[in-house]
Amino acid sequence: MATEVPDLLRFLSQDAKVSLALAMGKVLELQKAHLTNSAKIAKSDLETLLGIFQEKKIAKQVLNAAKRVSKKREAPYDAGSSTQKRAKGSIISNKDFTPFEIESALSLPKSSAGEDDLNSTVLVTNRAPLVLAFAVCVLKYTMPEQPLSSRLSLAQAVVSVNSRAKAISLGIEDGRPADQEGWGAGHPVVKILGRDIHVLKRWDYDPNEGAPSAEVHSRYEGENVHGEEIQMPPLWGVDLEALRGQDSKGSTSDRHPNSDISNALAIFRPDSARSYLYRAFSRPAEESKMPSKKKPATAIEDEKEESLGRLLSAIDLVCQSWLSALDKTELDRRAWSWYIRVRPDVQSGARGWGEKGQVKLSDVLALRRGI
């Protein structure tokens, strides 16, 4: 799968405590030995791992870590103590990880399913995560200079602005949005899916820092897709509602924007947006091979990851089909109308707020140019 290498790197560097340099050098050997995840490594033997890592101490270290992780995954599922979910979030605020490791840990799934399989896929979700998925995908083409951490943060900002406006219009929430009360003053604004998003510039943040030199250009997901000069630095989406809620004495507006994002900066965290995407999409109950109550936690997680991968792949195909015909501004404008055409058909009033519905990927693929 597309996340195989980042997952291996995350396991080796976080769980097995292997240096990043050594981990990167051994990933290919592990793949050749078909040891592509911690579960498979746990079922391996010391002799096999010794042949890969050369040092008995490190081989034991990796094997023991794999067994420990696998044992925890097999334990009764507890969302609050899931090893996998804890790792996904902790790397973002861990000062020991380089920007390259952080961007790798945030990687999103890509499906290898063919067009026929995509066309026959139906997903169950609600509207907010679908907006998030569209925003993350479209930003790859409208703001190609932005690394994945920034795209996730900016996309979550779009969801927040849209949800807040919707809640006020339905009478679910009172008052005016924070931006209308001046809380966004001083922050630059970018337009994403037609929404004005206040941003914080991440000066001197290099998403390639810590990457092997051979992988710098191929790994950076914010590649210059349109062939234009990169001008905008990496950005954070500013959470104006959180900013309004902060005590004035604890304001962090003067902090350097590259400081650890685990501090009180009022931004949308990319790990939270990624986690939301991973949880939000599933298949209709009638398509499941096994009742949800009988499914192990790992099977449920794998199904959700595959569902997300298929959706992102379908949206990406739509964007690619229009890339040569639309400039970035028009692509951004069209994206919202695309979302409107395929969003779940649920009750739009307050009673139906957050209700789930079905999304047909055949409808998404029909948005492609010339279809």
* Counted domains in the chain: 2
Inside any domain, residue 96: no
Domain limits at 345?
A: 115-365
- Alpha-carbon distance of 20 to 18, in angstroms, equals 6
Does residue 321 share a domain with residue 246? Answer: yes
Q: Which of 12, 43, 75 is the last residue of a domain?
A: 75
The helix-helix angle for 297-322 and 328-342 (nearest 10°) equals 130
Tokens of 161: 């602005």
pLDDT digits (tens, 9 = 90+) for 315-350: 999 999 999 999 999 999 999 999 999 998 765 554
Q: Per the domain annotation, does 87 fall within a domain? A: no
Q: Comparing 93 with 82, which gets the higher pLDDT?
A: 93
| Same domain? 15 vs 164 | no
pLDDT band at 215 (very low <50, low <70, confident <90, very high): low
Does the pLDDT value for residue 110 go beyond 70? yes
Paired with 201 in beta bridges are 235
Q: Looking at the structure, do residues 187 and 254 belong to the same domain, yes or no?
A: yes
**Cα–Cα distance, 278 to 273 (Å, whole number):** 9
The pair of structure tokens assigned to 316 is 């990406």
The verdict on residue 92 lying in a domain is: no
Q: How confident is the model at residue 31 (pLDDT cuts 50, 70, 90)?
A: confident
Average pLDDT over residues 129-153: 96
- The reply to whether 230 and 350 lie within a common domain is yes
Single-letter residue type at 355: E
198 and 69 inside one domain: no
158 Cβ partners below 8 Å, 6+ apart?
131, 132, 135, 192, 193, 195, 197, 237
pLDDT at 354: 61
Let me know whether 235 and 124 are in one domain. Answer: yes
State yes or no: pLDDT of 309 exceeds 80.
yes
Examine residue 168 and state whether it is found in any structural domain, yes or no. yes
Q: Could you give the CA distance from residue 44 to residue 66 in angstroms, rounded to a whole number? A: 10
Q: Residue 98 domain-assigned?
A: no
**104 occurs within a structural domain:** no
pLDDT of amino acid 351: 46
Question: How far does the chain reach from its first CA to its final CA, in angstroms?
Answer: 28
How many degrees, rounded to 5, is the angle at CA 340 between CA 336 and CA 342?
A: 120
Q: Are residues 42 and 120 in the same domain?
A: no
DSSP code of 14? Answer: I
Instruction: Give the pTM.
Output: 0.69
- Tell me, yes or no, whether 171 lies in a domain: yes
Quick one: 255 and 149 in the same domain?
Answer: yes
Q: Which two tokens stand for residue 59?
A: 């081989």
Q: Is residue 135 part of a domain?
A: yes
**Do 156 and 256 belong to one domain?**
yes
Same domain, 349 and 225: yes
> 207 and 313: one domain?
yes
How much is the average pLDDT of 103-109? Answer: 90
Residue 65 and residue 153 in one domain: no
**Two structure tokens written together for 175:** 């008052």
3-state SS assignment for residue 184: coil
